[in-house]
């Protein structure tokens, strides 16, 4: 079961003017499930994205990157069930055929369509089913369709993930709504996660490109379920420009800081929802690292802990075998780390200092914290002023079962 995660309430998801969503049951991999999403954008919308750094990236990622070099994106097409990764030239053709089919229906150029896929790798995308399902998506297009869209992009997720916010930019009310999917093969590196966030704010294209990178670094690039970077991970930010705010032309413009804060908050909540819904997860773990020389080494320590199967299985068992955390920190690649200065806490309990157990530490206190559904691991490296946070989960028996049976 997800860790303290509830499904989104449709009535609380705010429509974004200029962004319409349509869903279909196309039978991409399994019959009678929502598995195809079309997002139509009004003319003039700005679109920016960040993608997986996996060198074996999927065909739709390659096509998206190509199409984003142009201008005037009018649609996004997302299918679940089949990732269209590791599919060679036929996979590239399937991604291009997807764009062409959507373009014909919407009256735009294929280069104005972005394709996205998620699901099983190295299986051919049944593009004929996808194309056949697109007219139903067009017929279903509505600005209020975010809840159905969140469901349509799920794979091993147990719950849809969607978030909305309102923010004032210079006295103009602006809407931000986003959806995401992901539960396994999660260690975004940009990030099988997909994230789509839209706002009706007016934002210049170069500013949007910077904003999507900064929001990703503070959200999707701070999570890990199993340490695997997917072939398909993508995070897209859309600005329809329909709110009527004074256009944000550069990062010094009035309203940029408020918009960045709100977009990042939406992205962070979606990212944390992915971890809370991690495959087989029973605990949500925040790893807060402070006192680093730079953010990169703080994140390296956070990920060393979040990626360690020994640490993650100890959390699942509620076993305060906390030497595993120290071992993970020591394996983070910081050659000149002074372990005698380092401090480690579980929530408010000081566990280690001066290179060994804290004099005040009692295993019963560690065991008490380890039994909680939400736990904070805090480390002070005592090397500088930088800090970073990574969100992760435990490893349970169910993680193995889910991934062993994934293709069945």
Q: Looking at the domain assignment, is residue 160 inside a domain?
A: yes
Cα distances from 328 to residues 47, 95, 282, 311, 324, in angstroms, run 39, 41, 21, 8, 6
Q: Looking at the domain assignment, is residue 210 inside a domain?
A: yes
Containing structural domain, residue 381 = 284-404
**What's the pLDDT score for residue 54?**
80
Q: Looking at the domain assignment, is residue 163 inside a domain?
A: yes
CB atoms within 10 A of CB 11: 8
CB atoms within 10 A of CB 85: 26
Q: Looking at the domain assignment, is residue 5 inside a domain?
A: no
**What's the pLDDT score for residue 207?**
97
User: How many domains does the chain fold into?
Assistant: 2
How far is it, in rounded angstroms, from Cα 273 to Cα 40? 25
Angle at CA of residue 70, ends 64 and 71, nearest 5°: 110
Q: Which comes out higher in pLDDT, residue 263 or 186? A: 263
Q: 3-class SS at 127?
A: helix
Q: Looking at the domain assignment, is residue 351 inside a domain?
A: yes
Residues 327, 188: one domain?
Answer: no
Q: Looking at the domain assignment, is residue 4 inside a domain?
A: no
pLDDT tops 50 at residue 405: yes
- Going by pLDDT thresholds of 50, 70 and 90, the confidence category of residue 191 is very low
Domain boundary, last residue among 252, 276, 300: 276
Q: Which two tokens stand for residue 89?
A: 């030239």
Residues 134, 89: one domain?
Answer: yes
Residues 208, 90: one domain?
Answer: yes
Residues 63, 196: one domain?
Answer: yes
**What's the pLDDT score for residue 56?**
84
> Across the strands, what pairs with 19?
41
What is the number of residues in the chain? 408
> Across the strands, what pairs with 344?
352, 379
* Pick from 381, 309, 387, 307: nearest CA to 344: 381
- Going by pLDDT thresholds of 50, 70 and 90, the confidence category of residue 107 is very high
Residues 268, 288: one domain?
Answer: no
State pLDDT tens for residues 263-315.
999 999 999 999 999 888 899 999 999 999 999 999 999 999 999 999 999 99
Domain boundary, last residue among 227, 258, 276: 276
How far is it, in rounded angstroms, from Cα 202 to Cα 170? 12
CB-based burial label for 387 (10 Å; 0-12, 13-18, 19+)? middle
Q: Which comes out higher in pLDDT, residue 156 or 35? A: 35
Q: Looking at the domain assignment, is residue 212 inside a domain?
A: yes
**What's the pLDDT score for residue 187?**
55
**What's the pLDDT score for residue 402?**
72
Mean pLDDT for all residues in the chain: 93
How far is it, in rounded angstroms, from Cα 358 to Cα 101? 64
SS3 content of the chain, % helix, strand, coil (to 5): 35, 25, 40
Strands (E), 42-125: 46-51, 75-82, 113-120
Residues 67, 181: one domain?
Answer: yes
Helix 309-317 and helix 323-330: axis angle, to 10°? 160
Which residues are part of the catalytic machinery? 192
How do beta strands 194-199 and 172-181 pair? antiparallel
- Going by pLDDT thresholds of 50, 70 and 90, the confidence category of residue 206 is very high
CB atoms within 10 A of CB 372: 15
- Going by pLDDT thresholds of 50, 70 and 90, the confidence category of residue 358 is very high
Q: Looking at the domain assignment, is residue 3 inside a domain?
A: no
Q: 3-class SS at 285?
A: strand
Q: 3-class SS at 135?
A: helix
Angle at CA of residue 238, ends 144 and 184, nearest 5°: 85
**What's the pLDDT score for residue 18?**
98
**What's the pLDDT score for residue 192?**
52
Residue 394 sits in a domain whose CATH number is 3.10.20.340
Q: Which two tokens stand for residue 237?
A: 């930010």
State pLDDT tens for residues 7-64.
999 989 999 999 999 999 999 999 999 999 999 999 999 999 999 888 888 999 999 9
Q: Tell me the helices (H) and strands (E) count for the chain, helix number first.
A: 11, 15
Residues 295, 250: one domain?
Answer: no
CB-based burial label for 7 (10 Å; 0-12, 13-18, 19+)? middle
State pLDDT tens for residues 137-152.
999 999 999 999 999 9
CA 366 to chain centre: 31
Domain boundary, last residue among 276, 303, 319: 276
- Going by pLDDT thresholds of 50, 70 and 90, the confidence category of residue 190 is very low
pLDDT tops 90 at residue 376: yes
Residues 266, 138: one domain?
Answer: yes
How do beta strands 284-292 and 374-380 pair? parallel
Q: Which two tokens stand for residue 387?
A: 């800090």
Contact 211, 259 (CB under 8 A): yes
Residues 104, 201: one domain?
Answer: yes
Task: Read off the pLDDT of each residue in 354-361 and give the average, rounded to a whole number.
Answer: 96
């Amino acid at each position: 079961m997800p860790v303290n995660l509830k499904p989104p309430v449709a009535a609380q998801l705010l429509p974004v003017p200029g962004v319409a969503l349509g869903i279909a049951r196309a039978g991409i991999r399994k019959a009678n499930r929502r598995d195809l999403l079309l997002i139509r954008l009004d003319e003039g919308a700005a679109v920016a994205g960040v993608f997986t750094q996996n060198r074996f990236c999927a065909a739709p990622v390659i096509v998206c990157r190509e199409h984003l070099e142009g201008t005037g994106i009018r649609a996004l097409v997302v299918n679940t069930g089949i990732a269209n990764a590791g599919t060679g030239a036929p996979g590239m053709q399937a991604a291009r055929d997807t764009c062409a089919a959507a373009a014909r229906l919407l009256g735009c150029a294929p280069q104005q369509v972005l394709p996205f896929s998620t699901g099983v790798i190295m299986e051919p995308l049944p593009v004929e089913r996808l194309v056949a399902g697109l007219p139903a998506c067009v017929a279903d297009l509505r600005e209020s369709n975010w809840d159905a869209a969140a469901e349509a992009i799920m794979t091993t997720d147990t719950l849809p993930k969607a978030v909305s916010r309102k923010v004032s930019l210079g006295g103009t009310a602006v809407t931000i709504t986003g959806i995401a999917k992901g539960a396994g093969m999660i260690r975004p590196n940009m990030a099988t996660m997909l994230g789509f966030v839209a706002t009706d704010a007016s934002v210049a294209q170069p500013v949007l490109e910077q904003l999507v990178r900064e929001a990703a670094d503070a959200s999707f690039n701070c999570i890990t379920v199993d340490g695997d970077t997917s072939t398909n991970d993508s995070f897209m930010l859309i600005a329809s420009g329909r709110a009527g705010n004074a256009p944000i032309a550069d990062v010094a413009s009035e309203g940029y800081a408020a918009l960045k804060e709100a977009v990042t908050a939406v992205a962070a909540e979606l990212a944390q929802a992915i971890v809370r819904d991690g495959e087989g997860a029973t605990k949500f773990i925040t790893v807060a690292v402070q006192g680093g020389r730079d953010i990169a080494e703080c994140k390296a320590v956070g990920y060393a802990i979040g990626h360690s199967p020994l640490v993650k299985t100890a959390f699942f068992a509620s076993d305060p075998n906390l030497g595993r955390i120290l071992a993970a920190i020591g394996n983070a690649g910081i050659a000149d780390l002074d372990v005698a200065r380092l401090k480690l806490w579980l929530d408010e309990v000081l566990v280690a200092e001066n290179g060994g157990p804290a004099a005040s530490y009692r295993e019963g206190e560690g065991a008490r914290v380890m039994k909680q559904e939400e736990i904070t691991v805090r480390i002070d490296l005592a090397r500088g002023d930088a800090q970073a946070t990574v969100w992760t989960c435990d490893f349970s028996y169910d993680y193995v079962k889910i991934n062993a049976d994934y293709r069945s």
